Chains A and B, each alone.
Chain A
Amino acid sequence: MPTFDKIKQIMQKHTVGIAGAGGLGSNVAMALTRVGIGKLIIADFDVVSESNLNRQFYFSDQIGRVKVETLKENLNRINPDVKIEIHNLKLDADNLLSTFANVDVMVEAFDKADCKQIIVEAFQISKPSTPLILGNGMAGWGKSNEMRVQQYGNLYICGDNVAEIGPEMPPMAPRVLICAAMQANTVMSILLQKKFGNEYNFEP
């Protein structure tokens, strides 16, 4: 097995795109920063609000600030060497592919289902060879063992595929972080498999 230094060396050579800097995106970015990813490209249009703090990687003195700028600061406090390219914009079908033009792996971290659909269609049709990792179903609490990763070719789906958010099914840190951690873990599997082969791919 490779040492953490060796793992970091490999992670350092790669770029990961993250579409959205909310519950999934901010925590995927945090996990990948801790394991020494070379570069992150992160896009979001939102500002930090109090309701975000139950699950997103921001702090109470950052309420009202632009998410991507704030996230970049927080990530660089963990690891100043990670290159972080930020885009403060609302992603759509027209700007998605140009914003994430050169990524090794793409992480979908949107909130709305219709936005998830746009990124799946854009990447699976125009960039079918770029692995795309979705988060799908992580609201509520408990049921940890129903969270899973399913692989369909270059499309990976993390979550329980059931728990949609609603007024009585809020998204909260534990389950959102399980999903975000599964997405980051899948990124590692994909990048390390490229180097070490299937022995290090622990996805289904």
Chain B
Amino acid sequence: MNIILNHNPEIIETNSDSITISELLKIKSFTYKQLIVKVNDVLVLNENYSTTSIKGGDNVMVIHLMTGG
């Protein structure tokens, strides 16, 4: 499955037509606590990561927020 992840083309190895955000975070080893996720420019809250799907062609942003400022 081909998606855009943080402005870069990314191939996700899967037999399915879609994966959840939780699955994407696991595949890409995004293990930090403070994450911001947008799918096609819509913010997705943490509580919806396991129920929100990503399909081929989607534009996904995953940013790890860090302390400092």
Question: Which A residues have a C-beta under 8 Å from some C-beta of B?
Answer: 20, 22-25, 108-114, 116-117, 120-121, 124-125, 128, 134-139, 150, 152-153, 155, 157, 161-165, 171, 176, 179
Indicate whether B34 reaches chain A with its CB closer than 8 angstroms. yes
* A165 with B38: CB separation less than 8 A: no
Indicate whether B29 reaches chain A with its CB closer than 8 angstroms. no
**In the complex, which of the residues A20, A124, A150, A152 has the most CB atoms of chain B within 10 Å of its own CB atom?**
A152
Partner of B68, one of A117, A124, A163: A163
23 residue pairs of the A-B complex, CB under 8 angstroms, read A22-B69, A23-B69, A24-B69, A111-B68, A112-B67, A113-B33, A113-B34, A113-B65, A121-B45, A124-B38, A125-B43, A125-B45, A134-B65, A153-B38, A153-B41, A155-B36, A157-B63, A163-B68, A164-B66, A164-B67, A164-B68, A165-B66, A165-B68
Main secondary structure of the interface of B (DSSP, over half): loop
Residue of B nearest to A153 (CB): B41
Interface size class of B (residues with CB under 8 A): 10 to 19
Specify which chain B residues have a CB less than 8 angstroms from the CB of A109 in the assembled complex.
69
Distance, CA A121 to CA B43, complexed state (A): 8
Distance, CA A170 to CA B30, complexed state (A): 24
Indicate whether B55 reaches chain A with its CB closer than 8 angstroms. no
* B41 with A120: CB separation less than 8 A: no
